[in-house]
Amino acid sequence: MEIPHHIHIVGIGGAGMSAIARVLRDRGHAVRGSDRAEGPMVQSLRAEGIPVAVGHRAENVAGAELVLASSAVPEANVELAAAREAGIPVMRRPDFLPALTEGYDLIAIAGAHGKTTVTGMVAFILREAGLDPSFIVGGVPLSLGTNGHAGSGPLFVIEADEYRNTFLALKPKIAVITNIEYDHPDAFPSPRFLRLAFGDFVDGIVEGGTLVACNDDAVAHAVAASFHANGGNLVLYGLEAGKGVAWRAEAIAPNAQGGVDFVALHRGEVRGCVRLRLPGRHNALNALAALAVAEAVGVDFEQARAALERFEGTGRRFEVLGEAGGITIVDDYAHHPTQIRAVLEAAKGRYPRSRRIVVWQPHTFSRIRALWDDFLTAFEGADEVIVLPIYAAREADDGTLDQRMIAEAIEHPRVRAVDSLEEAAEALAEQVQPGDVVLLLGAGTEYRVGQALLERLAGGEAQP
C-alpha cells in the first residue's frame, strides 16, 4: 500500500497514534488530527507543528486522503462517518501498521509488562550505535525525547500491543516477549485466549527470524518452547539459571544513582557489570532483553552497556515528577497487580528509609473485577494507600463497583478512598512529611494529583 500524503488521525493524543503521527511527519506527510480532550500529548504535537483539533466534528476530515483511527474510537464516531460519506478511506491502526513498517527489518517488543521500557532501551541503544532506527514507543523515553521517529536506517523498533490483537498485524524479524500475564479482560475472555494470541504473534515472525523471550515467565517460556520446537531461532533471558538461557543477570543491587547494578552473563560467561539509572529487579530483566536484541543485530556489548547506563527511563515509568519540601513524588503507569508490586519493590530499593504513600487510580471496571483477588494483596510494600475513583477509560460505570468498595476490601491496615483528584491532593498536602515518597499509580489521570501536590508544597493552590 502506498501511504497518501494528507492524513487525518482520530484519537491522535494516544500514545500509539501520536507516535505514528510523528513517524509520518518525519517522512514528509501532511499530518493532522483530533482528540476528545486537551492533554500533554496534544499540546506537544501542536508544539511540533502538527495541528490537533479538540473535539470530534465532521469538518475535521475535510481535505484528508486517509483517515486513520485509534482502536479506542467507536465506529459511530462522527469523523469516521463523515469520512465514509465523503469517500475518504478509513483505516484502523492494525490495518495500517503493515504499510507503515513495510520495507524495514522489524523489531517488535511485546508483553504484559515492561514492553515500553524495553522498546525505549532498544531504540536508544541502536541510535547510540549510529544505526538511526525508526521507532514507535508507547511512552516517551526521556533519552530520546519523543515516542516516534522515522530514521534513515533499515531497522524499525515498535512496541507490539496485544490489545485487540493489534500485534498480529506485525511481521517481525526479531520479536521479544517480556512476559504473558492476563490483562485486558475486555479484549480477551480468558487467559487461554491471550496465550493463543501470543502464539499467533510468534507465528508471524519472518522465516529465519528470532524470538527473544523471558525464561522466568512460565507462559512466555511455553510459547518460546513451541516456537523453538518448530525450528525457530530462540534466545532466552532471565534472572534464574536454566537450560538454554543465553542472557542472565546476577548480583543485582541498588546503586548510588537510584537504579540497579547487575553482572551480565552471556551463555555462562561474565560480560561485565551493567549500571542502570532505573530501579528494581524488573528493570534488570528489561535490560537483559535489550542486550539480547542488541546482540542479535550486531551491536557490540560494550556499546549496548554504555547506552543502557545513560538511558534515563520513560515518561510515566517510575518518573520522578519533582521534589518539594523534602517530599519526592513519583508517577508510574502501573495498573496491574504485578506492576504495582514491582514498583513498590523498586521504591523500597531506591528509598529504603522513606515512608511510601501510594495514590492508586484503578483502571477500568473489567480489569478490577477480573483481577480482584490479586489487587487486594498488591499493596504490601506501601505504608499508606489512597484509592481514587475508578478511571473508566473506554468502559461505562454501571454503579456496582466504586473506590470505596475496593478500599474496604484491600488487605492493608492503612487504606482509604477519596472522591476526587482534588481531595487526594488536599489530603496529601496535610499529611506528607519530609522524607516521604508519594507514588502515583495508574494508567489514567492520577499524575495530576502529583502536579497539584507539588504546587501546594511550593505555596500555590493548583487544582488537578
Catalytic residue (one of 116, 178, 314, 364):
116
Catalytic residue (one of 159, 181, 319, 446):
159
Nine-digit cell at 392?
A: 473508566
Cα separation, 240 vs 353, whole angstroms: 29
Q: 28 vs 4, 64, 96, 107, 323, CA distance in Å?
A: 11, 15, 17, 23, 40
Strand 105-110 and strand 155-159: the pairing is parallel
Q: 350 vs 58, 72, 232, 355, CA distance in Å?
A: 50, 36, 39, 12
Chain length of the chain: 464
Residue that has been written with the C-alpha cell 560467561 in this structure:
269
Q: CB within 8 A of 146, min separation 6: which ones?
A: 22, 140
Q: Which of 218, 285, 229 is nearest to 252 (CA)?
A: 285
Amino acid at 17: M
Are 105 and 154 within 8 A, CB to CB?
Answer: yes
Cα separation, 289 vs 285, whole angstroms: 7
Cross-strand pairs, 289: none
- For residue 111, count other CB atoms closer than 10 A to its CB: 24
Strand 327-332 and strand 319-324: the pairing is antiparallel
Catalytic residue (one of 79, 115, 178, 314):
115
Cα separation, 205 vs 185, whole angstroms: 26
Within 63-145, residue ranges assigned H as helices are 78-85, 93-101, 115-128
First to last CA, the chain: 44
Helix (H, G, I), strand (E, B) or coil at 250: strand
411 part of the active site: no
Q: Which of 144, 64, 151 is nearest to 106 (CA)?
A: 151
319 part of the active site: no
**Listing from the earlier edge strand, what are the strands of the sheet with 437-441?**
319-324, 327-332, 437-441, 356-360, 384-387, 415-417
Helix (H, G, I), strand (E, B) or coil at 71: coil
171 part of the active site: no
Q: Which of 170, 163, 211 is nearest to 187 (CA)?
A: 163
Amino acid at 24: L
Q: Which of 47, 43, 3, 37 is nearest to 23 (CA)?
A: 3
Active site residues: 115-116, 159
